[in-house]
Amino acid sequence: MANLRRSAIPLYTQIASSLRNEIDTGMWPVGTKLPAIIELADRFGVAAQTMRQAIGLLEDEGLVLRRQGVGTVVQNIPRDLHWLNLPTDWVSLVGMLDKLDVRVMLVEASDRIPKVRDGEGRPTGTYKYVKRVHYRNDEPFCVIEFYLAAEIYMRAPKTFRNTTVIPALAKMKNIDIHTVGQSISIDVADAETAKHLDIPLANPVARVRRSIADSKGNAIYIAEALYRSDVIHLDMDLSPGKKHH
């Protein structure tokens, strides 16, 4: 447990994640009674109170039920996990985002200037800033904030506020898309993100940053999306002899 203790993520959250994965993989089938709190605490090398907090998270999610005199029983398997495969090329990115059946909740829309990183192009003119939450089956899975060149945004403001942006850009005429970048890092949810995604504070999230620049080097789109860590996965073919970008 030394590695867990060095993490910024609370111990009980990490332990709950580990048990959740064990339930998902069938180690603890529905109807199975989990070991006693003391046994689990000993296994993970934590205090009994920490273990109770971890079990409490799983109970809040409806995965287990604590019964007096019986113990902790597995009630359900986790919901559809890791259903979103992060794409690694433009065609797949457009296709993935276009197929998403999402409901969005607008958090903010205003005029702002993005911080553009090296390799993403240079800022140009004014931008429209939008922050929103994406839902699937009435469950939030992503908080995204993006900056879109105002001239482009004003061509279809309703579309850009209420649908996924990249497929909309791909379908529009006279949009100069030259370079597209994507980076992925692991972060933890702050208070606002945790609230929007309905996850515990400091829960792991995937931070995905995407950028689009035109042929003149102008950054026309900058976005950062925070995904729940339990909805995404990344598949890559690393076979020798294949071209990779």
Domain that holds residue 20: 2-74
Q: Are residues 70 and 88 in the same domain?
A: no
Average pLDDT over residues 211-237: 94
- What CATH number is associated with residue 164? 3.40.1410.10
Task: Convert the pLDDT of each residue in 150-195 to its tens digit.
Answer: 999 999 999 998 899 999 999 999 999 999 999 999 999 999 999 9
Look at residue 69 in the predicted model and tell me its pLDDT: 87
Look at residue 3 in the predicted model and tell me its pLDDT: 56
23-27, 85-89, 161-165, 190-194 — which is least confidently predicted?
23-27
Q: Are residues 130 and 194 in the same domain?
A: yes
Q: Are residues 17 and 105 in the same domain?
A: no
Q: Are residues 228 and 120 in the same domain?
A: yes
- What CATH number is associated with residue 38? 1.10.10.10
Q: Answer with the one of 46, 74, 102 that is the final residue of a domain.
A: 74
Average pLDDT over residues 216-220: 97
Look at residue 99 in the predicted model and tell me its pLDDT: 85
Q: Are residues 135 and 67 in the same domain?
A: no
Q: Are residues 169 and 143 in the same domain?
A: yes
Average pLDDT over residues 81-110: 87
Q: How confident is the model at residue 244 (pLDDT cuts 50, 70, 90)?
A: low
Tally the domains of the chain: 2
The more confident residue out of 107 and 131 is: 131
Average pLDDT over residues 114-141: 92
Q: How confident is the model at residue 2 (pLDDT cuts 50, 70, 90)?
A: very low
Is there a domain that residue 244 lies in? no
Q: Answer with the one of 36, 52, 74 that is the final residue of a domain.
A: 74
Look at residue 8 in the predicted model and tell me its pLDDT: 59
Q: Are residues 136 and 205 in the same domain?
A: yes
SS (H, E, C) the chain: CHHHHHCCCCHHHHHHHHHHHHHHCCCCCCCCECCCHHHHHHHHCCCHHHHHHHHHHHHHCCCEEEECCCEEEECCCCCCCCCEECCCCHHHHHHHHHHCCCEEEEEEEEECCCCCCCCCCECCCCEEEEEEEEEECCEEEEEEEEEEEHHHHCCCHHHHHHCCHHHHHHHCCCCCCCEEEEEEEEEECCHHHHHHHCCCCCCEEEEEEEEEECCCCEEEEEEEEEEECCCEECCCCCCCCCCCC
Q: Answer with the one of 47, 74, 101 that is the final residue of a domain.
A: 74
* Predicted TM-score of the model (pTM): 0.77
Q: Is the pLDDT of residue 5 over 70?
A: no
